[in-house]
Chains A and B, each alone.
Chain A
Amino acid sequence: MKKVRPPTDEVQRLVHELAVQELELERQNEEIRSARHELEAERDRVADLYQLAPVAHLTLDPMGTVVEATVLAVALLGVDYGRLNRRRLHERVVPADWVTLSRHLADVFAGAARRTCDLGILTGRDSARLVRVSSVAVPDARGQSTRCRTALMDITERKQAEEGLKDSRAQFESIITSALDGIVTVGGDGRVVLMNPAAERMFGCKAATVIGHAFDRFIHESSRKWYRAVILADADGVAGPAPGRLGAVVVRRADGTEIPVEASISEVLGSWGRLFTVILRDVSARQRAEQALGERLRLEQLVTQLAMTFGHLSTVELDQEVLRGLRAVIDFLGVDRGCLIEFPRAGKGARCWAIEDWMDVEDFPWMAARLQRGDFVTVSRLEELPDEAAVDRQSYLTCRVKPQVALPLEAGGRIVGGLVFSTIGDDRATSDDLKRQLHLVGEVFANLLSRKVAEVELQKLREDLGHVNRVSTIGELTTSLAHELNQPLTAILSCAQAGQRLIDVDAMDRGEFREILREIVEDGRRAAAVIDRLRALLKKGDPQLTVLDLNETVAEVVRLIRSDALVRDISIRLELDPTLSPARGDRVQLQQVLLNLALNGMDAMQELRTGERTLVFRTAMDCPGGIRVSVRDSGVGISGRDVEPMFQPFYTTKAGGMGIGLTIARSIIEAHDGELEAENNPDGGATFSFTLPVSEEGP
């Protein structure tokens, strides 16, 4: 320090100032010292913190050289600090990740943002560990980034856990996604949390549009109770049924259609609250299949039943049973009306069986023509009808029976008829299902019609044969018929001749003349009655079903054979039940049967001595629900082996017999729903009897 003469006051003042300044400096020094102490303490603390921080930390330069490393970092990297310090971090990184590391550093030093990457670290101890590296550049005093702080976190376990979770989550998601059942997760508040694709398909809407919204709009009103009871049990304060299988529920799709499902529900209680997983299985297909199966079964039952009924149909019941069958089919198909048409083999005059008589083929010429060509006709709208169907159109308007389907019935290569059903919904009329059902039903009716045609022919044949038989039976009766006719003729002739004689001799008084004429008229009528009976029996023609008093029928036959019996010394006895119910049948045919039985009985008694020949006609109500008419003879009886062949055509024990009498008799009785039987009497002879049902119409 250079000596200068100090001015006293000045010096004094300067010294004082210096002292003050020195003091100030001393104070400042002290402050600085203490601050440095604090700073050092702080630094040590931070260093300790840094070193002892639970996070492994490194300080790296842009090249990745390790400038500093915390204890944990050293431990994490698994090497001595010596092998780490001033060496590049790359040495500790799996080569595959070098590029990642370099890029990471480049990114970090390029800006101020924190960057993160995952690196595989060679620990030297065991397998590589996965470390998450998170770095941020630290600018120096000049504002340049020459260092970065890097935190390391061993995420090997977490990663593994994460991977595992991801795997199971992926697995879970794939299950949910690919599940065929609809899966919907609903929160405790009833809002949709999750919906899988199957549920989307089921409800016809995207999950995104549904999630967050109340799920119960998809539940049909009828099924909402269980839903609310389970899911919103707490809200309502009512304990609902335990979650689990819920059985059949109806859900409503977004478009409003309803489908039956089977639902089960399970509850998950997690930290996020209550969650319900609803699993829904669409059973509409199954129900449809079940329904279709059930329907098919019912149809087959119906068809079988119809076939059985139609198979044993007598001509008497035909109309009634056809209508009954139609009614059953109509009920099955769920339509209003049905009609069976029969096309004759040749020419016009189709026949119609219709419930409520709504249809006449004549009114639907266009449809009938198409049916006859074998077309399946559906009419759903009148506008569809072509111009040539003008008559049909008018009839449709009159009958109000559209739309309808008409099915041709084919048998033996010929269209024998048609089935018409109305009213059928548009979509159903064209459905294959209906067609298939109709074809099945149609077959039964086609069979019936073709069989009916055959039966009509058979019937005609039978009638012809019956006529032949009647003629031949009458032939057997000629003797007695001649007698029957001769009696009144004799009386007439004698009366007339007596009259002539009396006039010739003028011995006539008016009273006697009147008497003679009255007797002539009476006997003329008597002769005419004989002729009538004969003619009725010989008449060829359709059976005429009427309500009959069988006692009267028996009496008529007895009148026919009386004189024959007389000639043959056969006494006839009648045991007629006066309380007999009326029967329904053809008078002539039944007379023919009785005549056959009577003549057979009389023939059987030929060998007997006079006085032992008795023919008994008996009527009684002694069979269940019916009348029995029997003809008992006291003849030779039936030899055991003859009973069955006796009813076969052309079987005869008589010299002049044709052997068709009993065959025809049996077929006549069977056509009347009765039975013809023969048995030997315990006291000799045989009894032929037939049963007939009581007429429901009354006398």
Chain B
Amino acid sequence: MTARTAPLVFIVDDDASVRKSLARLVRAAGFDVETFASARDFLARPRYNGPSCLVLDVRMPGLTGLDLQEALATARQHLPIVFITGHPDVWAQVKAMRGGAIDFLGKPVNDQDLLDAIERAVTKTGRAQHDEARITDIRNRIKAVTPSEAGRGMGPIDPIPRPSSQRQ
């Protein structure tokens, strides 16, 4: 895999023209873009470990956006997701946010809102990768302490910082 200069944005939408126009917009903002017509197509893609995010349509035939979110969580693939939907319904929104979505945007999307959400998401991937390393380290250390040490309580742990909104 060649080194990337820009974060990679995956766009999954069953509607070809939406897919195409969003890709155009996101690309114009300086991101790399890959588009998929369905959740299955996306799942078939090899895992990408660089800074990236997923722009995901909620409603699609077959596997829906929420199904995909669930599937990724199950696979412990912590890809930040920006949901877009033509019909913002509260239930879907709640479910998406609980599942850790970065944002839930209604169609038609305002370009700035979308790009901000993407920005936050890709930053998060960077941090998430860093955090994951730290978490692994902490877990290893926890394994190393004696049960008596463990009984005395947990040592101070660096809090995971909230992803900050960064403009490009």
Encoded as 1 (CB less than 8 Å from any B CB) or 0, chain A from 181 to 203 comes to 00000000000000000000000
Of all chain B residues, the one with the shortest Cβ separation from A489 is B108
Contact in complex: A519, B17 (CB < 8 Å) = yes
Q: Does B22 contact A (CB under 8 A)?
A: yes
What is the bound-complex CA distance between A547 and B112, given in angstroms? 50
- Interface range on chain B: under 10, 10 to 19, 20 to 34, or 35 or more? 20 to 34
**B-contacting residues, A366-387, CB 8 Å:** none
Give the residues in chain B near A490, CB-CB below 8 Å.
Answer: 18, 21-22, 84, 86, 107-109
Q: Kindly identify which residue among B15, B84, B111 contacts A497, using a CB–CB cutoff of 8 Å.
A: B111
* CB within 8 Å for A494 and B86 given contacts A487-B17, A501-B28, A526-B17: no
Contact in complex: A487, B27 (CB < 8 Å) = no
Give the residues in chain B near A563, CB-CB below 8 Å.
Answer: 59, 86
Contact in complex: A487, B61 (CB < 8 Å) = no
Q: Does A491 contact B (CB under 8 A)?
A: yes
Q: Does A482 contact B (CB under 8 A)?
A: yes
Of all chain B residues, the one with the shortest Cβ separation from A488 is B17
Contact in complex: B107, A487 (CB < 8 Å) = yes
What is the bound-complex CA distance between A567 and B59, given in angstroms? 6
Give the residues in chain B near A566, CB-CB below 8 Å.
Answer: 59-61
Q: Does B134 contact A (CB under 8 A)?
A: no
Q: Does B24 contact A (CB under 8 A)?
A: yes
Give the residues in chain A near B27, CB-CB below 8 Å.
Answer: 498
Contact in complex: B108, A494 (CB < 8 Å) = yes
Q: For the complex formed, measure the closest distance between the CB of A491 and the CB atoms of chain B, giving whole angstroms.
A: 4
Contact in complex: B21, A495 (CB < 8 Å) = yes
Q: Kindly identify which residue among B25, B87, B107 contacts A489, using a CB–CB cutoff of 8 Å.
A: B107
Give the residues in chain B near A507, CB-CB below 8 Å.
Answer: 28
Give the residues in chain B near A499, CB-CB below 8 Å.
Answer: 28
Give the residues in chain A near B107, CB-CB below 8 Å.
Answer: 483, 486-487, 489-490
Give the residues in chain A near B84, CB-CB below 8 Å.
Answer: 490
For chain A, what secondary structure do more than half of its interface residues adopt (helix, strand, loop), or is it mixed? helix
Of all chain A residues, the one with the shortest Cβ separation from B60 is A566
Q: Does A502 contact B (CB under 8 A)?
A: yes
Q: For the complex formed, measure the closest distance between the CB of A483 and the CB atoms of chain B, giving whole angstroms.
A: 4
Q: For the complex formed, measure the closest distance between the CB of A527 and the CB atoms of chain B, giving whole angstroms.
A: 10
Q: For the complex formed, measure the closest distance between the CB of B46 and the CB atoms of chain A, giving whole angstroms.
A: 27
Contact in complex: B111, A493 (CB < 8 Å) = yes
Q: For the complex formed, measure the closest distance between the CB of B65 and the CB atoms of chain A, giving whole angstroms.
A: 12
Contact in complex: A516, B24 (CB < 8 Å) = yes
Encoded as 1 (CB less than 8 Å from any B CB) or 0, chain A from 473 to 517 comes to 000000100111011111111110111111001010000000010
Contact in complex: B18, A495 (CB < 8 Å) = no
Contact in complex: A487, B22 (CB < 8 Å) = no
Encoded as 1 (CB less than 8 Å from any A CB) or 0, chain B from 10 to 25 comes to 0000010110111011
Q: Does A342 contact B (CB under 8 A)?
A: no
Q: Does A612 contact B (CB under 8 A)?
A: no
Contact in complex: B24, A487 (CB < 8 Å) = no
Contact in complex: A502, B86 (CB < 8 Å) = no
Q: Does B73 contact A (CB under 8 A)?
A: no
* CB within 8 Å for A492 and B108 given contacts A487-B18, A567-B59: yes
Q: Does A523 contact B (CB under 8 A)?
A: yes
- Interface range on chain A: under 10, 10 to 19, 20 to 34, or 35 or more? 20 to 34
Give the most central of A500, A501, A519, A522: most B CB within 10 Å.
A501
* CB within 8 Å for A486 and B111 given contacts A495-B21, A495-B24: no
Give the residues in chain B near A484, CB-CB below 8 Å.
Answer: 86
Give the residues in chain B near A493, CB-CB below 8 Å.
Answer: 21, 108-111
Q: For the complex formed, measure the closest distance between the CB of B38 and the CB atoms of chain A, giving whole angstroms.
A: 12
Give the residues in chain B near A488, CB-CB below 8 Å.
Answer: 17
Q: Does B29 contact A (CB under 8 A)?
A: yes
**B-contacting residues, A594-620, CB 8 Å:** none
Q: Kindly identify which residue among A487, A492, A497, A498 contacts B86, using a CB–CB cutoff of 8 Å.
A: A487
Of all chain B residues, the one with the shortest Cβ separation from A499 is B28
Contact in complex: A494, B59 (CB < 8 Å) = no
Of all chain B residues, the one with the shortest Cβ separation from A512 is B24
What is the bound-complex CA distance between A475 and B22, given in angstroms? 29
What is the bound-complex CA distance between A495 and B86, given in angstroms? 17
Give the residues in chain A near B15, CB-CB below 8 Å.
Answer: 487, 491
* CB within 8 Å for A501 and B21 given contacts A487-B15, A490-B86: no
Contact in complex: B86, A483 (CB < 8 Å) = yes
What is the bound-complex CA distance between A500 and B106, given in angstroms? 21
Give the residues in chain A near B108, CB-CB below 8 Å.
Answer: 486, 489-490, 492-494
**A-contacting residues, B59-74, CB 8 Å:** 59-61
Give the residues in chain A near B29, CB-CB below 8 Å.
Answer: 501
What is the bound-complex CA distance between A563 and B17, given in angstroms? 15
What is the bound-complex CA distance between A492 and B60, given in angstroms? 20
Give the residues in chain B near A486, CB-CB below 8 Å.
Answer: 86-87, 106-108
Contact in complex: B21, A523 (CB < 8 Å) = yes
Encoded as 1 (CB less than 8 Å from any A CB) or 0, chain B from 23 to 40 comes to 011011100000000000
Give the residues in chain A near B17, CB-CB below 8 Å.
Answer: 487-488, 491, 519, 522-523, 526
Of all chain A residues, the one with the shortest Cβ separation from B19 is A491
Q: Kindly identify which residue among B60, B61, B87, B109 contacts A494, using a CB–CB cutoff of 8 Å.
A: B109
* CB within 8 Å for A492 and B28 given contacts A486-B86, A487-B15, A567-B87: no
Contact in complex: B24, A483 (CB < 8 Å) = no
Contact in complex: B25, A497 (CB < 8 Å) = yes
Q: For the complex formed, measure the closest distance between the CB of B60 and the CB atoms of chain A, giving whole angstroms.
A: 8
What is the bound-complex CA distance between A482 and B29, given in angstroms? 28
What is the bound-complex CA distance between A490 and B20, given in angstroms? 11
Closest A-B pairs by Cβ, 4 of them:
A497-B111, A483-B86, A486-B86, A494-B21
14 extra A-B contacts, CB within 8 A, seeds A486-B86, A490-B22, A493-B109: A483-B107, A484-B86, A490-B84, A490-B108, A491-B15, A492-B21, A494-B18, A494-B111, A497-B25, A497-B111, A498-B111, A501-B25, A523-B21, A566-B59
Can you list 23 A-B pairs, Cβ within 8 angstroms, ordered by A?
Answer: A482-B86, A482-B87, A484-B86, A487-B15, A489-B107, A490-B18, A490-B107, A490-B109, A491-B18, A491-B21, A493-B21, A493-B109, A494-B18, A494-B109, A495-B24, A495-B25, A497-B111, A498-B27, A501-B29, A502-B28, A507-B28, A523-B21, A563-B59
Where the two chains meet, the residues of B that have a C-beta atom closer than 8 Å to any C-beta of A are: 15, 17-18, 20-22, 24-25, 27-29, 59-61, 84, 86-87, 106-111
